Structure 1
Amino acid sequence: MARHAHQEHQGAELIAAARDTLTDSGEQWTGMRQSVFEELARHDKPASAYDIADNLSQSRGKRVAPNSVYRILDLFVRSNLANRIESANAYLVNTHPGCRHDCIFLICDDCGKATHIDDERVSGALREAGRDAGFTDVRPVVELRGLCDDCAS
């Protein structure tokens, strides 16, 4: 498999990498954006904007609107701080912000866990097929569903 090398971040290092990636792109790292990112990073499974808004509302003691969270998550996806799991309308934190490549997501139909693999042969072939069909700025979104090792055993 043609692998893409990148550095995975976690904890405070992940938050710092996300902040640096966002500010380097000309955007501001606000308190609310940090709160949304930290909440998303807490989840080991894809989280919806509603999940994040509910959790932030509880922790802040005041209502956080899902629409505000959606706008921030959309910015995070555009800035490569998060990935959208299309089939679940949910999001995963990108543990290697600033590293642009196309991920192939493996999603467990039983527990909901989502992981990603990198295979430039697959994503490159999909980008090429899109360009051959006359599309520009092709961004493959590949999701494979099945059972993870834990659920399969």
Structure 2
Amino acid sequence: MGKHNHSHQEHSGDSLMDAASASLIAAGEQWTNMRADVFEELARHEKPASAYDIADNLSAKRGKRVAPNSVYRILDLFVTNNLALRVESSNAYLANSHPGCTHDCIFLVCDDCGEATHVDSDDVSRTVRAIAEQRNFAARRPVIEIRGICASCN
């Protein structure tokens, strides 16, 4: 994994939208109106959101039905390009507050309120990737989820 040569600037609001757009365009993808709408809807959620939640909210906002399958495709593109993080155990997504930065996904997931906190730990990532490498396994996107109760619900 090595040392990160980037800043961990946390973006929000318009800054997050601009960073996400720039990151996706830099990856050779287009920042379409639909992709912008999906990202904006995802970013307004503090807790992980499902593709169905996003599709329902966008349908109401746009005044016409938005298919969950279309949202899933966009969310998968966002995950591939580090604009979004996927909480595997709940099949839900969070906007990456530092788009374009590549980190292994380590989540603390509350079983009561559903909050998922993303944690960056180079030590844990190095250890997990080393374990995979020792077994001749090429780790692409390690995901670690720790289920429990958050401080607010405790």
Tell me the TM-score normalized by structure 1.
0.94
Q: Show the counterpart of 1:120.
A: 122
Query: How far apart, CA to CA, are the structure 1 residues paired with 2:38 and 2:97?
Result: 15
SS for the counterpart of 2:138 is coil
Residue identity (%) = 65
Deviations 1:83-107 (A, max 9, x none): 0000000001000001111131011
SS for the counterpart of 2:152 is helix
- Provide closer, same or farther for how the CA distance between residues 25 and 81 of structure 1 changes in structure 2, counting only shifts above 3 A: same
SS for the counterpart of 2:97 is coil
Q: Match for 1:21 among 23, 35, 53?
A: 23
Counting only pairs closer than 5 Å after superposition, residues 137-152 of structure 1 correspond to structure 2 as: 137-152=139-154
Q: Show the counterpart of 1:130.
A: 132
Query: How far apart, CA to CA, are the structure 2 residues paired with 1:69 and 1:86?
Result: 16
Tell me, yes or no, if structure 1 residue 87 matches structure 2 residue 122. Answer: no
Query: How far apart, CA to CA, are the structure 2 residues paired with 1:132 and 1:106?
Result: 26
Q: Show the counterpart of 1:71.
A: 73
**Which segment drifts farther, 128-137 or 54-63?**
128-137
Query: How far apart, CA to CA, are the structure 2 residues paired with 1:122 and 1:137?
Result: 14
Return the letter of the residue paired with 2:32. Answer: T
What's the offset of the Cα at 1:139?
A: 2.1
Counting only pairs closer than 5 Å after superposition, residues 4-83 of structure 1 correspond to structure 2 as: 6-83=8-85
Query: How far apart, CA to CA, are the structure 2 residues paired with 1:96 and 1:66?
Result: 25
Query: How far apart, CA to CA, are the structure 2 residues paired with 1:64 and 1:118?
Result: 33
**Unpaired runs of 5+ in structure 2?**
none
Q: Is the 8 A contact 1:17 1:97 kept in 2?
A: yes
Query: How far apart, CA to CA, are the structure 1 residues paired with 2:76 and 2:127?
Result: 26
SS for the counterpart of 2:108 is strand
Q: Show the counterpart of 2:103.
A: 101
Query: How far apart, CA to CA, are the structure 1 residues paired with 2:140 and 2:40?
Result: 29
Could you list the runs of 4 or more consecutive aligned residues of structure 1 that deviate by over 6 angstroms after TM superposition? none
What's the offset of the Cα at 1:137?
A: 4.1
Deviations 1:10-40 (A, max 9, x none): 0000000000000000000000000000000
Return the letter of the residue paired with 1:81. Answer: L
Return the letter of the residue paired with 2:100. Answer: G
